[in-house]
Structure 1
Amino acid sequence: MAATLDVEKAPVLGMTTEPTEEEIEQLKQQDRLNALMKEHGSTWDGPSDPQDPYNWSSTRKIYVAIIVSMGQLVTIMTTSIVAPSLSTIAQDLHMGSSEMQVTFSIFVLGLAFAPFLIAALSEMYGRKSIWIICNSWYILWNSLCPVGHSSGMMIVGRFMAGSGASVGTTLTSSVLTDMYRAEHRGKSLAIATFIPYLGPAIGPILGGVISQNLRWEWSFWILSLFEAAITLVGLLLFVETYTPTLLRRKAAAQQHDPSLPSSKVVKVKVFYRDLSKRLKPSILRPILLLVKRPVIQVVSLIVSLNFGVYCLMLSTYASLWTDRYNESETISSLNYIAIAIGTTIATQAGGYAMDRIYRKLRKRNKGQASPEYRAPFLVPGVMLVPIGLFWYGWSANTTMSWVMVDAGAAIYTCGSFIVTQGMLAYLLDEIEHAASANAASRMLSNICGFAFPIFAPQMYDRLGYGWGNSLLGFVFIALGVPTPLLLWIWGPKLRAWGKKR
């Protein structure tokens, strides 16, 4: 049986005085090993076992993180790479304005539902195999999007490609959780998001160059070739990180019985019987988390609003520069560098700040950790989002210098990604099944990411960039700004209530 930990009442490791942080960490490690042994029939050979992903070298962790983050980069680039050539695609495929916006955002809808299956399978069979299969699925459907110049094939292909590409957003944070402990959550997220969060700038810039110098079809085929190269590297170098899978393999190797049948037919039958037995509860887990855990509902609401506004901005940013500022497709795409600046500041400086705040608050509480220690990190994020929206909107509305517009976009994006980072860290601290928690929280956000860009042209036509973005800013002030205080004060009650239901 796993030991229980009560640092306020019980002595630790035979000590009669107040336990130190090091002693508390040792006891937690022993509790973890006991729990792993009970659940998986095997455990690591002590807290320092080099096979435990927590104990891998920094070099190994970083190259695994880079591989999966490169896959997530493709996901983010695919979302926005068609933005500069949307009007050309719509003209060639005989699409109306609404159908054109659906073509842009249907990819994000594909990101909404596939993560339920991806998270379930990754928690059954491990991260690597599911990552490779989903990447291959993306390559197939993304390559088919422009085939035949059919609007139906384009929309279906974008949706199916999004389903495969969702493995990037679903498993990247989960792989990091497999390798890094909570006190290094910010550092791990900074490593994994540095490359992907350049995607909102790289995608449109690449798309602008392609649309001006090549046929727009190459926007799809170049990304498919890039993803194929990443998948090949992952096939060779991506090491399985999911502890239950690694321990099951270890237990099977230790308990191998040569008298058991070993034919391929028997193994296939065992696999499908195991799949049918375990898949249903694994798929239902994210849904049940979303339905039964109020804290996930709160997080999902804010993340979905945040992501919906972000996708709305991406879908209209290129047309702002080409229509209102009369810039070429290539020059207009360079304004996305402002978005990359905002994301880079949020992820790199934010990751360091998140870890520092977390460690300081944990030390103040005598080594006891809590997901609510992420709440202070959210404060600058929820303030910067409306400030950036107002700044960007009214600068664009009055056709001020591109510097002012880009500055507002950078401020908004920085705040938006701080909110996303903090919310994700909060969930990963609270929920044991990281992939399922991620899938549950992102479902509503991806639905909003699909829907918001569809009404963006009508909103800006009626309200203009100034009042249109102000409306979004006021909504975020009402729903998003109180979130850090809500989690700080009522977070423990929300988490406890969910576990009792």
Structure 2
Amino acid sequence: MSTVAQDVGDTACSDEEKRGADLKVAAADSTEVQLQDDPQIDPQLRRLELLKQRYGSTWDSPDDPNDPYNWPSTRKVLTGIIFSMSQLITLMTASIISAALNDISSDLHIGMSSAQMIFSTYFLGIAFGPFVVAAISEMHGRKWIWVVGNTWYILWNAISPVGKSVNVMILSRLMAGFGACAGVTLTGPIMADMYGKRERGKAASIAALLPSLGPALGPILGGIVTQLLEWPWIFHIMSIVTSVITLVGILYIKESYTPALLRRKARGKPVTPREALTKSFWSEFSKRLGLGIWRPVRLLLTRPIIQLIAFVMALSFAIYTLLLGTYATMFMDRYGQTPSISALHYIAIAVAMTFAAQVGGRVMDVVYRRLSDRRNKGQGKPEFRVPYLVSGIVLLPIGLVMYGWAAERRVAWPVVDIGAVIFSLGTVIVPQTLLAYQLDEFVEHGASASAATRVLAYVLGFAFPTFAPKLYSTFGYGWGNSMMALIWVVFCFPLPVVLWLWGEKIRRWGRREEEHRVEGV
């Protein structure tokens, strides 16, 4: 099947040709189902045959070194670390100005609510950028859209402090978020390109190695730069570091998306500059891009499993960003600490998130493999990730309440940090498990599924910090956090039960015939 027939259709073909093409697609789909269900065929050979039917080419053998699954462990790990560094910059950029909000508010002559708007607008860019990033990555591969996204981020982030204008800062933070979303959107799918289901927790651990440090390093660096230099240098430093990471990625990273690699192999030659300038090329590109942008929207609107995951991840991330944006200022207001000292408390969050990311990913793999072997004859199911999810669902509100009331009563600051640690463990475990669950279901279109589930998270991540000052000034840290914990308990506690008992059925709702689930795609 050609990618044109698959993704955009041929508007010039006759009705008879269209019916013929539909019959061919249906026949291929039927053959794929038969191959997937035939226990007599070796799984690796079955995968190669399915790939050939799907993309017109396949790997030369199960051990083909060009197959991302067969890349050396060193290449996989280093690729994961580069993308992990990219995510670190994304998260640091989100939190790095939190320790400088008072200075920004003073220099720009604006209130704290407007300063929080500058802080949170970045999340709005990350919310909608993935629709374009996911579409292009599933058309042409992961690497170069990541490079373009990083370059876009570098330029807009550098512009942000120019003129010290509130309007320029809001616009530039929004546009920087559009570029920075590439790393966030593609890291999970890229790790899935290289690692199978039974190693997905390990892949998540590698990808989360550095991003978990972002919440701590961002405010600490921001506080130090604000005191020793000036807050505009925060943006300059982040752009310089991202430039170095992007250059390393250009030199080292190889394309990992199997459909893109096999389509190029089937085509036999790259698209020439002359072909790229033709009207037909851009007509086809625009159609495929439109369908690619629509795909995450369609998944969000028609797949209940995406809606469930999106809602829970959104609420978790929104509460997390609210805490992230107010943590340093809380210690300054309640405990009278300086910006640089208050920023050090983010270390507690970073330690917790690093521990959950590294240890938790491996625990999730162990649970998944044991349940697969004991309950399903070695065949994995996304639902086998649910037992690990329970711990995150429970820990999050416990830590939130503990942190809030300790701050409210001005209890010794280590108690506040312990509450933040417990909360942070939950905020890592929940998305870590749900994203692994999602990648098990959406194999080929993992980037689109990631965009669909993250958009609501980042919209709420934008909205929640803007009303944080009003929330805490009205209800205080104790009752304010208790209200959010209650919302979490009511809406999110039923999720593990729902997924364990009915997850397989819910995953089938809205699933299309052409949504292939070939492992390694």
TM-score over 0.5 for the pair: yes
After superposition, give the CA deviation of every residue in 1:349-372 in whole Å (9 maximum; x if it has no partner): 100110001101110111222111
Aligned match of 1:485 in 481, 497, 509? 497
Aligned match of 1:423 in 434, 437, 453? 434
Which residue pairs with 1:312 in the alignment?
322
CA distance in 1, matches of 2:328, 2:34: 56
Which residue pairs with 1:339 in the alignment?
349
CA distance in 2, matches of 1:111, 1:345: 25
Matched to 2:308, the amino acid is V
Q: Does 1:391 align with 2:402?
A: yes
Which residue pairs with 1:265 in the alignment?
274
Do the aligned residues in 1 keep the contact of 2:81 with 2:209 (CA within 8 Å)? no
CA distance in 2, matches of 1:11, 1:142: 53
After superposition, give the CA deviation of every residue in 1:298-341 in whole Å (9 maximum; x if it has no partner): 01110000000000000100101111111111111110001001
Which residue pairs with 2:157 in the alignment?
142
Q: Give SS of 2:510's match.
A: helix
Aligned match of 1:379 in 373, 384, 390? 390
Q: Does 1:434 align with 2:439?
A: no
CA distance in 2, matches of 1:244, 1:38: 12
Aligned match of 1:286 in 284, 293, 296? 296
Which residue pairs with 1:2 in the alignment?
32
The correspondence of residues 391-410 of structure 1 with structure 2, limited to 5 A, is 391-410=402-421
Matched to 2:382, the amino acid is P
Which residue pairs with 2:26 in the alignment?
none
Which residue pairs with 1:445 in the alignment?
457
Q: Does 1:471 align with 2:490?
A: no
Alignment CA distance shift 1:466-1:191 (3 Å): same
Which residue pairs with 2:68 in the alignment?
53
Which residue pairs with 2:179 in the alignment?
164
Aligned match of 1:494 in 475, 492, 506? 506
Q: Which runs of 5+ in 1 are unaligned?
A: 14-25
Do the aligned residues in 2 keep the contact of 1:393 with 1:465 (CA within 8 Å)? yes
Which residue pairs with 2:216 in the alignment?
201
Aligned match of 1:240 in 239, 255, 265? 255
Alignment CA distance shift 1:3-1:457 (3 Å): closer
- Supply the RMSD in Å over aligned alpha carbons: 1.5
Alignment CA distance shift 1:92-1:167 (3 Å): same
After superposition, give the CA deviation of every residue in 1:265-309 in whole Å (9 maximum; x if it has no partner): 333325423311211111111000000100110011100000000
Compute the TM-score of the two structures, normalised by the length of structure 2: 0.90
Shift of 1:97: 2.2
Which residue pairs with 2:423 in the alignment?
412
Do the aligned residues in 2 keep the contact of 1:290 with 1:297 (CA within 8 Å)? yes
Compute the TM-score of the two structures, normalised by the length of structure 1: 0.93
Shift of 1:226: 0.2
Which residue pairs with 1:21 in the alignment?
none
Q: Give SS of 1:498's match.
A: coil
CA distance in 2, matches of 1:490, 1:460: 39
Shift of 1:401: 1.0
CA distance in 1, matches of 2:243, 2:259: 28
Matched to 1:458, the amino acid is K
The correspondence of residues 348-363 of structure 1 with structure 2, limited to 5 A, is 348-363=358-373
Matched to 1:136, the amino acid is T
Which residue pairs with 1:62 in the alignment?
77
CA distance in 1, matches of 2:466, 2:286: 38
Shift of 1:149: 1.1
Alignment CA distance shift 1:11-1:95 (3 Å): closer
Shift of 1:496: 1.2
Aligned match of 2:131 in 116, 123, 136? 116
The 10-residue stretch of structure 1 (263-272 or 361-370) with the greater mean CA deviation from structure 2:
263-272
The 10-residue stretch of structure 1 (393-402 or 88-97) with the greater mean CA deviation from structure 2:
88-97
CA distance in 1, matches of 2:316, 2:462: 13
Alignment CA distance shift 1:225-1:449 (3 Å): same
Which residue pairs with 1:328 in the alignment?
338
After superposition, give the CA deviation of every residue in 1:3-55 in whole Å (9 maximum; x if it has no partner): 63687xx6535xxxxxxxxxxxx42x333222211222110012211110011
Q: Does 1:100 align with 2:112?
A: no
Which residue pairs with 1:368 in the alignment?
379
Q: Give SS of 2:378's match.
A: coil
Shift of 1:119: 0.3
Q: Does 1:12 align with 2:40?
A: yes
The 10-residue stretch of structure 1 (83-92 or 216-225) with the greater mean CA deviation from structure 2:
83-92
Matched to 1:340, the amino acid is A
Aligned match of 2:264 in 246, 249, 273? 249
Percent same amino acid at aligned positions? 50
CA distance in 2, matches of 1:131, 1:235: 10
Q: Give SS of 2:32's match.
A: coil
Q: Which runs of 5+ in 2 are unaligned?
A: 1-30, 514-521
After superposition, give the CA deviation of every residue in 1:160-193 in whole Å (9 maximum; x if it has no partner): 0011001111000011011010110100000110
Matched to 2:417, the amino acid is D
Which residue pairs with 2:231 in the alignment?
216
Alignment CA distance shift 1:96-1:33 (3 Å): same
Shift of 1:252: 2.5
CA distance in 1, matches of 2:85, 2:160: 22
After superposition, give the CA deviation of every residue in 1:56-98 in whole Å (9 maximum; x if it has no partner): 1110100111111111110000000000111111111122222
CA distance in 2, matches of 1:98, 1:290: 31
CA distance in 2, matches of 1:339, 1:204: 11
Q: Give SS of 1:327's match.
A: coil
Do the aligned residues in 2 keep the contact of 1:186 with 1:352 (CA within 8 Å)? yes
Do the aligned residues in 1 keep the contact of 2:303 with 2:509 (CA within 8 Å)? yes
Do the aligned residues in 1 keep the contact of 2:134 with 2:185 (CA within 8 Å)? yes
Do the aligned residues in 2 keep the contact of 1:43 with 1:247 (CA within 8 Å)? yes
Which residue pairs with 1:18 in the alignment?
none
Q: Does 1:130 align with 2:145?
A: yes
Q: How many residues align?
A: 480
CA distance in 1, matches of 2:190, 2:400: 33
